[in-house]
Structures are given as structure tokens and as C-alpha cells.
Amino acid sequence: MSTRKPLVALLTGAGISTDSGIPDYRGPKGVWTQDPAAEKLATYDVYMADPEIRRRAWRVRQDTRVWQARPNAAHEAIVRLERAGVPVRVITQNVDGLHQLAGLPPRKVLELHGSARSVVCTACHERGPMTAALERVAAGEEDPRCRSCGGVLKAATVMFGQRLDPGVLADAVAIAKNSDIFVAVGTTLAVQPAASLAGLAAENGARLIIVNAEPTPYDALAAELIREPIGTALPALLAGLTPAAG
């Protein structure tokens, strides 16, 4: 007789972090909705070709709300579920690092689109903390270069025109296929290949639950649709999955 505990996987998008003060990208108050030109800062070929775009990108990184943001009730609810002994894996489209800051073990978080908290050299691929790079910018380096090889530095995020890390994506696919409950929260499920994970989970027998204010292309596959605010809806949902004490 199997004693395997059900695996709960969560695919999280920008909507889970808006309560932490981080705006989404394409919503009514989204970063790219309000400033369409800002999308260039996240386009790899433009970033690499235009020093002025890079200088602007570094100024934006200095001022991003990520540095002041704290985990909110939704992030904390996931940590509570994990600490209750439920097998939990988070696949996130976010680059803010708030799942780890909330206390979720880094090995249980797959960052599909990378992390804004690190930098990477586009030439030698050496990585380092974003804070160190921003200190150099504050000291007067408008477009800091890699100290090992002189290559262009960028945030360790996946820009437009870049592929996802194939290893991270393969791990995400495996988690989706093996999950018993798959919760898509705060994501429009419009960006591929991340969105396809919800369908993959449902096709492999997972109970798909979608927590999002707007309809998604995968609603027809969901066993449950929740349109309530994430900050209250997700904690309530996950509390119902937490084993009773005693």
C-alpha cells in the first residue's frame, strides 16, 4: 500500500506579488502598459546593441520596487503548507525572489524566468549578486562590465529573445506531470512554455485549480476556478490542503 503524500505544485505569476507592491507587466497598471518603451529594456538584442538602453536598465534596476518588497499573505501561505509536511514545489514566472524570502527552501523553487537578484555575464556566464553590481552603478559606473572578462552584464533574468534554461524547464515539466494538485495562481497562462504546464498537469491526472482575476486559456481544464483576491483566496485554499494537527 502506497504511503506517498500528494504532491502540490504551484505555478505562480505576477499576480501573486502585486500585494507586495510589485506591479505586473501587462495589467491596467502594468509596467509595459504604462510605458511601452520599457519593454525594450527587457529585449536581449536591443539591450546588447544599445549602451543607452543598458544605462537606462541599470537606473531602473536601482529604483525597482523589488528591493523594498516583502512577501505577502499568499507567499506565506505556501510556506506554511510546506512546513506542515506537504510535498510542495513552486514553479514561478516571477523574478522577485519573494518565495525564498518568505522562507521556502530554494531547492523547492524553480525560477523559470530567472532572478532579478543576481547578475550574469553575457560572455563568460559568471554570476554574482545584483547588490554588488548596483553598488558599482551608485559609485558612478553607468554600464558596469564583468570584472572577469569585460563582457556585458545583465540581470540573471530571461529577456525577450532568450530561451528558458532547458534544465529548469525539464524539471518544471517533470513536476507538472507528477503533481497530484496543480495550482496556477496570479498568472494569465498566456506566456509559453510556462502556461502549457497547467495543461500538462491536468492531462496527467492532476486536479487543476486556477486562482486568477481574469479568465485564462486553460479554464476549461480546471476542476476549480477561483476569482477572489489572491491575498485571501490562496491562504484559504491552501489551509484546506494542510493536514490537521494532532
pLDDT tens by residue, 174-211? 999 999 999 999 999 998 899 999 999 999 999 999 99
Kindly state the average pLDDT of the residues 148-160: 96
In a domain, residue 94? The reply is yes
| Average pLDDT value for the chain | 92
Kindly state the average pLDDT of the residues 200-226: 96
- 38 in the same domain as 12: no
Domain count for the chain, please give it.
Answer: 2
Which pLDDT value is given to residue 40?
Answer: 82
Active-site residue flag, 125: no
Say which residues have a Cβ less than 8 Å from residue 48's Cβ, sequence separation at least 6: 122, 152
Which pLDDT value is given to residue 48?
Answer: 97
- 45 in the same domain as 13: no
Q: What is the pLDDT of residues 78-127, one digit of tens each?
A: 999 999 999 999 999 999 999 999 999 999 999 999 999 999 999 999 99
In a domain, residue 108? The reply is yes
pTM of the model: 0.91
- 195 in the same domain as 83: yes
- 121 in the same domain as 109: no
Percent of the chain with pLDDT over 90: 83
In a domain, residue 227? The reply is yes
User: Of 93, 126, 157, which residue sits at a domain end?
Assistant: 157
Which pLDDT value is given to residue 3?
Answer: 64
Distance in angstroms (rounded) separating the CA atoms of residues 16 and 63? 21
Radius of gyration of the chain, Cα coordinates, nearest whole angstrom: 19
Domain with 100 in it: 1-22+75-113+164-246
In a domain, residue 174? The reply is yes
CB 233 within 8 A of CB 211: yes
Distance in angstroms (rounded) separating the CA atoms of residues 64 and 17? 13
Kindly state the average pLDDT of the residues 220-234: 97
Which pLDDT value is given to residue 33?
Answer: 56
Percent of the chain with pLDDT over 70: 92
The SS3 call for residue 152 is strand
Distance in angstroms (rounded) separating the CA atoms of residues 141 and 115? 22
Res. 52 pLDDT band, cuts 50 70 90: very high
In a domain, residue 28? The reply is no
Q: CATH number of the domain that 47 lies in?
A: 3.30.1600.10
- 224 in the same domain as 131: no
- 149 in the same domain as 62: yes
Res. 66 pLDDT band, cuts 50 70 90: confident
pLDDT of residue 32 exceeding 60: no
